[in-house]
Structure 1
């Protein structure tokens, strides 16, 4: 059983805005420290940014409007806590306490990701998709229900009928669709709106990739300040995560679909 939401779902809009802001931080600093929270809905977007990087609020506003359209932007940029910043003063070390899990994707999960991507190429609007054993549920806004039923004959399409989604009818918040982003690898930490020193980003990516490579579950625990995790220097794991983020096109692009 798995759920996927597409990049126009309100929660994904929030994730994408947060990712775009992290991209801005990396344009101004090689190793910024940043954490972003976004709440969006009904014509308003509230953003809180804790960062070491010098980010122009106008650039943040431009990113919000590019992704979410004509919404009122409330932007608060504050310095990151000194104790958190000092944790990295001698080099990149683990920036969180936490437990992390990587799980190999099932064929069902892979199949739903393909379906979600395919539908989104035809209907780039708010949508949610679920597979539960032999049951496929498609909820796609601004779509032809009849056409989707023809594309996927066994599916239950828009059970309540045609609908219009987006942030005008729902709210979105950063890291609220972890199951859609991570499948069975969900733990306590969210993937979006944070720099690579944060274990929520780096260790979730690392554990997920290792699980796909080995075909076995991966479990990791860490404490803030750790410089070695799973037998590797933390910097090495950051480099693996950085390469993955680069391969998908940056933090904003990563936020569109998560890890699969």
Structure 2
């Protein structure tokens, strides 16, 4: 590892058009799982000026049966979509929760996909697709996340809370943040640059109102970042383009799954390429990414490494992963090899295996918990006062014991 370097991560707010799409897709996942814990969902969302479009494949008892929608299902789906946009806060001429045009093109899941995924006879439930998934953890923050991404998320979360509470009424839902830190010996040493672009009410792009907005943003940054990282040398770029009144889906089209690096580790670790939002947990793009984060976090929490990347790979219809790969980036504890950690994971009976069903059962993924994941990252944070199940560190002692 280099002794000194700069690293940058970005985040986007819940009002960013791609994040609006992610939240709608995951609200549909939650709706279906609340009706049927074994529902199959692959829901993609498009958002643009005064329009939301759903497309994808589903199977769900009580909602979509024998190729037909049940009574009231279509109305409930539309109500769910509008409720998401209302909660985010869009009541603008170019995108209003109550008046946007809504189109629903969800349809039955392919029978050829279903035969590979469903358990049948002596065949266990298979992976919903082929692919590679990565998990990561590091000791840069208490939640074992990359510091640049952690601060980027928290700045925007704070601003969203202030907007909704009325503490910052000049803010509108769309926003982006970016934090650059200088690292020394793997630890954050200084914030060298911070970029913040936020949609705002009319008039907050000049004069005293612009100064008020910029002071507010700097105050939020000062509250979020540790004081010793900020100095007179920190460079701030706040709304660097000037006016930012037109935002959200009215300013740019949004699509599910376009913010996968924001969703994971801010570029500090590889990404397998598959998005999470809109997918039920039989899709290993989602569930295997969660279990690899869980494993990597427990390895770091156990003191077995300061940084850890884990990869799993799957084939569609096949239960067991094709490969398990561990890389501690030269930070593992004395006498603990990456190969030994791989072997410990394979032999961990408490884990219940790394099959799609084993993952779902161990982490309790067949529940409607996904709307909460769809903004400000899937990892390293609490939602509604509690950590997601893949953020638990209840495997740390077992790992230490098996490698002791």
TM-score by length of 2: 0.60
- Quick check: 1:60 aligned with 2:77? yes
After TM superposition, list the pairs within 5 Å mapping 1:1-260 onto structure 2.
1-53=8-60, 54-55=63-64, 56-68=73-85, 69=97, 70-87=99-116, 88-90=118-120, 91-104=124-137, 105-123=145-163, 125-133=173-181, 134-142=192-200, 144-152=213-221, 154=234, 155-164=236-245, 165-183=247-265, 184-215=269-300, 216-229=308-321, 230=324, 231=346, 232-234=353-355, 235-243=357-365, 250-260=369-379
1 or 2 for the larger relative contact order (CA 8 Å, sep ≥6)?
A: 1
With over 3 angstroms needed to count, the CA separation of the structure-2 counterparts of 1:256 and 1:182, relative to structure 1, is same
With over 3 angstroms needed to count, the CA separation of the structure-2 counterparts of 1:148 and 1:162, relative to structure 1, is farther
1:42-74 Cα shifts (integer Å, max 9, x gaps): 011111131111251111111221122131001
SS at 1:149's partner residue?
Answer: helix
1:72-104 Cα shifts (integer Å, max 9, x gaps): 001012110001111214243211100111122
SS at 1:36's partner residue?
Answer: strand
C-alpha separation between the residues in 2 aligned to 1:65 and 1:201?
Answer: 25
C-alpha RMSD of the superposition? 2.0
* Residue 257 of structure 1: how far off its partner (Å): 2.4
C-alpha separation between the residues in 2 aligned to 1:185 and 1:122?
Answer: 33
With over 3 angstroms needed to count, the CA separation of the structure-2 counterparts of 1:241 and 1:141, relative to structure 1, is farther
* Residue 241 of structure 1: how far off its partner (Å): 4.3
Compare the two structures and name the one with the higher helix fraction.
Answer: 1
Highest Rg: 1 or 2? 2
1:98-133 Cα shifts (integer Å, max 9, x gaps): 011112222232222222222221235111111123
SS at 1:217's partner residue?
Answer: strand
C-alpha separation between the residues in 2 aligned to 1:151 and 1:27?
Answer: 37
* Residue 185 of structure 1: how far off its partner (Å): 4.5
C-alpha separation between the residues in 1 aligned to 2:278 and 2:374?
Answer: 9
Which consecutive residues of structure 2, in runs of 5 or more, have no partner in the other structure?
1-7, 65-72, 86-96, 138-144, 165-172, 182-191, 202-212, 223-233, 301-307, 325-345, 347-352, 380-404
Which consecutive residues of structure 1, in runs of 5 or more, have no partner in the other structure?
none
SS at 1:130's partner residue?
Answer: strand
Aligned residues: 257
* Residue 152 of structure 1: how far off its partner (Å): 3.4
1:200-238 Cα shifts (integer Å, max 9, x gaps): 110111112222221311011111122223542412212
